[in-house]
Amino acid sequence: MSETGEYPDDLQHGSGGLAEAEDQAGQTRAPHRVIGTPSPAEAHILLATEHPDAAPPVPRELPADPPDLVKAKRAERVVATLFILAMLSGFAFIASYVGFPVHTVDRVLRSNLALGTSLTLSLLFLGAGTVIWVRQLMPDVELTEQRKPLASPENDRQAFAQTFKEGADASQFIKRPVLRRTLIAATVPLGLAPVLLLRDMGPLPRTSLRHTAWRKGTRLVISGTNRPLRPADFDSPGGMITVIPEGYQDNDVELAKAATIIIKFAPGQLQPPTVMNWTVDNIVAYSKICTHVGCPVALYEQTTHHILCPCHQSTFDATKGATVLFGPASRPLPQLPITTDAAGYLVAQSDYHEPVGPSFWERG
């Protein structure tokens, strides 16, 4: 087998291919053949473009069978078994789909397990079978293909250059600058049109980021239960709860700015720069929107009085006006001025005195 099919000597070329492959142990490996583009002279003989009826025989490049047919037969059985298992797994997938209902967590677990296992097995058996097929059943070959330099031959390049230049001349594009310039001028507005059309994708920011939904007299209600709070309800030092402005519990846009945490301290714990006029009975209210990039910052440590944001670990001191202690935030959490209303519930005195949330260019 290794003796047939070699290129005759006058057709041997290519600097990389060896005429035959013999390693040091003297065993002949699979024949090493050269496939390449024959020289123009030989192309006549091999590819027979001018004389279609007199095409000479094309020498064989790939052996028909692997050398050890007994081993191949065994491999064939293994591959066939794997493929049959793949088929059975495929049927199992269909059966699982039909047989396993969903709609509860437990049922979804079983359905997912059944569908997933059968699908996985089917695919992996197919893959394994194919690999064994390639490795054991297809005869081992190592072939060489010649590369051509990627740069085109010089005459091709020149021909291209000539064609291109002729076209450029014929188009008058280079010779008539007025045409050229007016063409560009004509397309510029059209080119800008798609950008312009995007203008209505959103409103202009204007001052919307500077204000929240808190107003004078807005009640603080507990987020989730929407109950208003009296100071007497929130009288355990070390307590913390998230509050939102009354009536806005379904308004995510306003909540994303107005979410607030209130913390109860023992007397004497709150220090400047906490504004004491904005507190009630040592209850202080800070914005829950982190001044770094806007995550809710509600991780409150009772013992250290730290408010920690879980996203990037910006830390604020709740006793000192939420000044920054650590982390990437550069501004303290804004403090919400609170007081009590006539019924005794906690209300805001006004909106925050500065924009809440992440910094922006126009913030000041």
**Which 275-294 positions form the footprint of another protein (CB under 8 A)?**
288, 292-294
By CB under 8 A, what part of segment 129-158 binds another protein? Answer: 130-131, 133-135, 138, 140-147, 149-150
Q: Indicate whether 26 belongs to the interface with another protein (CB under 8 A).
A: no
Q: How far apart are CA 351 and CA 294, in angstroms?
A: 18
Q: How far apart are CB 260 and another protein at their closest, in Å?
A: 9
Size of the residue set binding another protein (CB under 8 A)? 136
By CB under 8 A, what part of segment 161-200 binds another protein? Answer: 198
Other CB atoms within a 10 A radius of the CB of residue 334 amount to 21
Map residues 204-243 to x or -, x wherever contact with another protein holds by CB under 8 A. xx--xx------------xxxx---x--xxxxx-xxxxx-
CB-CB contact of 297 with 313 (8 Å): no
Map residues 38-77 to x or -, x wherever contact with another protein holds by CB under 8 A. --------------x--x-xxxxxx-xxxxx--x------
Q: How far apart are CA 315 and CA 322, in angstroms?
A: 8
Question: Both tokens of residue 159?
Answer: 């021909």
Q: How far apart are CA 358 and CA 345, in angstroms?
A: 30
Q: How far apart are CA 70 and CA 288, in angstroms?
A: 75
CB-CB contact of 275 with 257 (8 Å): no
User: Which of residues 39, 81, 97, 344 is near another protein by CB under 8 A?
Assistant: 97
Segment near another protein (CB under 8 A); pick from 28-36, 159-167, 272-280, 340-348: 28-36
Other CB atoms within a 10 A radius of the CB of residue 4 amount to 9
**Residue (111 or 339) nearer to another protein, CB:** 111
**Residue (138 or 192) nearer to another protein, CB:** 138
* Locus of tokens 């047989």: 99
Q: How far apart are CB 185 and another protein at their closest, in Å?
A: 27
By CB under 8 A, what part of segment 307-326 binds another protein? Answer: 308, 310-315, 324, 326
The DSSP letter of residue 131 is H
User: Which of residues 282, 327, 339, 345 is near another protein by CB under 8 A?
Assistant: 327
CB-CB contact of 316 with 307 (8 Å): yes
